[in-house]
């Protein structure tokens, strides 16, 4: 759990910096901040969207994308699956 909290703090620090900039992925960053603040993990797809920014940060320069991903793996979770509505299930009958 300590690894999670440490990695979460590091990622949140950079996400807040990116929110101060005029980036086209601001909605994704906002969603990631909210998920991390609520104790949830971010999806791999979300993380990949900010990878090009993260890999340029001083602590991660010189690391491969795979190494950066491994560093943040404690806070990367499974892709969210949308629940199927019961109305759709009625059509199967």
- The structural domain count of the chain equals 1
CA pair distance 45, 32, nearest whole angstrom: 11
Instruction: Tell me the average confidence (pLDDT) per consecutive run of 10 residues in the chain, 93 residues long.
Output: 89 97 94 96 96 96 96 86 54 56
- Beta carbons within 8 Å of 87's beta carbon, 6+ residues apart: none
CA pair distance 84, 90, nearest whole angstrom: 11
pTM exceeds 0.75 for this model: yes
Range of the domain at 7: 2-91
Q: CB–CB of 36/76 below 8 Å?
A: no
């Amino acid at each position: 759990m300590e690894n999670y909290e440490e990695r979460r703090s590091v990622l949140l620090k950079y996400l807040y910096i990116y929110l101060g900039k005029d980036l086209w992925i601001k909605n994704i960053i906002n969603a990631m901040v909210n998920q991390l603040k609520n104790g949830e993990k971010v999806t791999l797809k979300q993380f990949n969207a900010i990878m090009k920014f993260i890999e340029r940060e001083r602590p991660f320069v010189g690391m491969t994308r795979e190494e950066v991903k491994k560093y943040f793996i404690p806070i990367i979770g499974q892709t969210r699956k949308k629940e199927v509505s019961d109305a759709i299930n009625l059509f199967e009958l």
